[in-house]
Amino acid sequence: MSEKMKDDYKISFIRGATTASGNSFKEIEDAVVELIDELIIRNNLIKTNILSITFTATKDLDACFPASIARKCNGLNSVAFLDCQQMYVSNDIDFCIRIMAQVLLPPNYAIKHPYLRGAAKLRTDRC
C-alpha cells in the first residue's frame, strides 16, 4: 500500500459474535467461517487491511481453536490471530464465539458489526 493510500485509512475495531451448533470441529468451523465471511462482506474489507483478530470462546467450546480455522479460510494466513477463553458468566450464551478485529478502514466508515445466529441477542442494536 502506498503512503498516500495509508493516509486514507485509519485503524478501526470491529466486534462480532456467533454461536456454533455444538462442540465438534465441523460445528465450530461452520460458525467461524460464516462469521469471518460476514465480517469481510458487511464491511467490504480488503484482506490485506485485516491486521489482527482476537477470538474468545465460551468454556463449552474446546474441540478446536477458532483461530486455526480462520487462518485457513479466505486467504488470511498473514493475519495475526489470538484465541482466548471467554470469562465465565452464568447464563451466558452456549457455544458462543466472539471476535474483535483490528482493521484499516477509510475515516468515517460506517462499521457493520456481525452478530449472527444465537449471538444476535447480545447486540440487537447491531444486527
pTM of the model: 0.91
With contact defined as beta carbons under 8 Å apart, do 16 and 92 qualify?
A: no
C-alpha cell at 62: 474446546
What pLDDT does 75 receive? 86
| Domain-located, residue 122 | no
Instruction: Report the CATH number at residue 66.
Output: 3.30.1330.40
> What is the spatial distance between Cα 103 and Cα 96, in angstroms, rounded to a whole number?
22
Tally of residues, the chain? 127
With contact defined as beta carbons under 8 Å apart, do 54 and 99 qualify?
A: yes
Q: What is the pLDDT of residues 36-53, one digit of tens each?
A: 999 999 999 999 999 999
- What 3 state SS string does the chain have? CCHHHHHCCEEEEEEEEEECCCCCHHHHHHHHHHHHHHHHHHCCCCHHHEEEEEEEECCCCCCCCHHHHHHHCCCCCCCEEEEEECCCCCCCCCCEEEEEEEEEECCCCCCCCCECHHHHHHCHHHC
For residue 20, the enclosing domain spans 3-117
Q: What is the pLDDT of residues 40-94, one digit of tens each?
A: 999 999 999 999 999 999 999 999 999 999 999 878 989 999 999 999 999 999 9
Model confidence at 3: pLDDT above 60 = no
| Domain-located, residue 81 | yes
Share of the chain above pLDDT 70, in %: 93
Report the chain's mean pLDDT, rounded to a whole number.
Answer: 92
Q: How many domains does the chain have?
A: 1
Higher-pLDDT residue of 121, 15: 15
| Domain-located, residue 123 | no
Confidence of residue 5 (pLDDT cuts 50, 70, 90): low
Confidence of residue 7 (pLDDT cuts 50, 70, 90): low
| Phi/psi at 104 (5° precision) | -100, 125
